[in-house]
Every structure is written in C-alpha cells, then in structure tokens.
Amino acid sequence: MDLLYWIITALIKLFDVVAPAGNPADVVNVRMQNDMRLPVAQRVGYRHVFHGLATIVRVEGVLALYRGLQANIPRSILINIGQVACYDQAKQGVLSTGILKEGVALHFLSSFIAGTMATTLTQPVDVMKTRLMQGTQFNSIAEVFMATAKEGPLAFYKGFVPAWIRLSPQTILTWIFLERLRLIFPLSNVLVHN
C-alpha cells in the first residue's frame, strides 16, 4: 500500500466521523425536493436552506435536524465500501483477465463497476433515510424498513437510476483523477526508502 492510498482512506474515514454534521442540510434538501409532490396545503415552503434549518428548529426542535441519521451513517459506510473496495477488486479482476492493461480505460471500467456497486449497496438505506427525513411519519429505521418491505423488495430500489446517474460519474472522476495523481506523484518510493 502506498502513502496516497492511506491518505485517501484516512480522509474517507474522517468523512464518516463528521457525516452527522451534514445531516441537517440533508434533511432540508430532502424536504425541499419532496415539497413539489405535496399538495399546496402540506408543503413546507422553505425559501432556502437557512430558512429550512430555522423553521425545523422552531417548529420541530433541534433533534428533528438529525432525522434519518441512523440510516445516513451506514449509508456513508456502504458508499465507501462500494467505491473503494469494489474499485480495487474490479481493477484487479479486469487486470487478471488481460483484456485491459493499466491505463485510463481500466480505471474507467473499474470505477464504473465501483459506482454501480456503491449505488446498489446504498440504495435500500438511501430510500429509508429519505423516508425518515421527509417528516414525522416514521419514528425509527425499523418502522421504515417494515413499511418499505410491505411494498415489496423493489421498493428499496426506488430512485435507483437517478441515484446511479449522480453517484457513478462522481466515482468515475474520483478514481480517474486519483490514478492520474498516482502517476504524477509516485509516493510508493517514499515508503520503501524510509
């Protein structure tokens, strides 16, 4: 393992630890997106994220900003598993076939597979997180799970295509840039000589 790998891994883990800090903005985002589907009388009508934050605190209390956190943390972990572990496995698998050699095509295919796996792993948790954040219909992740399961197994994958369209390009670009950076700044020699 080279130093850059450990730096990237440490940063990913740091984001897992600080993920709760982003939960309030995620709650507002989910509710603002859901607003368009609601009847006018039921809409929250947040003008912007700060208005949404203030309204939630005033009407529902500070803890409402952390609705869905119990799903958001595992979601973050699953994204990392999908993006990091699946990328490395896909890359090694493709290399072992001899179809592609080290280069942009290999990095693209490997990261495409990783983005697809990350979306597949996280979508069930993402659906439950979104339902928790939308309002007070559910009090726990167990309630959301049971309600979603009653709709059938495919209910856990609602919104898969938009989620994949969002996550896959980000995964592809991240890994292609990381691989380019590894070529520009080869850090493995630093570990060997120390």
pLDDT digits (tens, 9 = 90+) for 16-72: 666 678 889 889 988 998 888 888 888 888 999 999 999 999 999 999 998 888 888
pLDDT value at 191 more than 60: no
Are 141 and 132 a contacting pair, CB within 8 Å? yes
User: Tokens for 63?
Assistant: 């803890």
Structure-block tokens of residue 137: 């219909």
**What is the pLDDT, as a whole number, of residue 193?**
38
**pLDDT at position 109 over 90:** yes
Phi and psi at residue 152, to the nearest 5°: 110, 160
pLDDT higher than 50, residue 100: yes
CA distance 148 to 186: 47
192: its two tokens: 């060997």
Read off the pLDDT band of 14 (50, 70, 90).
low
Chain center to CA of 37: 24
**Confidence check: pLDDT of 170 > 80:** yes
Question: What's residue 43's pLDDT?
Answer: 86
Separation of alpha carbons 86 and 92, rounded Å: 10
List pLDDT tens digits, range 111-154: 999 999 999 999 999 999 989 888 768 888 899 999 999 999 99
Provide the angle, in degrees to the nearest 10, between the axes of the packed helices 104-133 and 86-97. Answer: 150
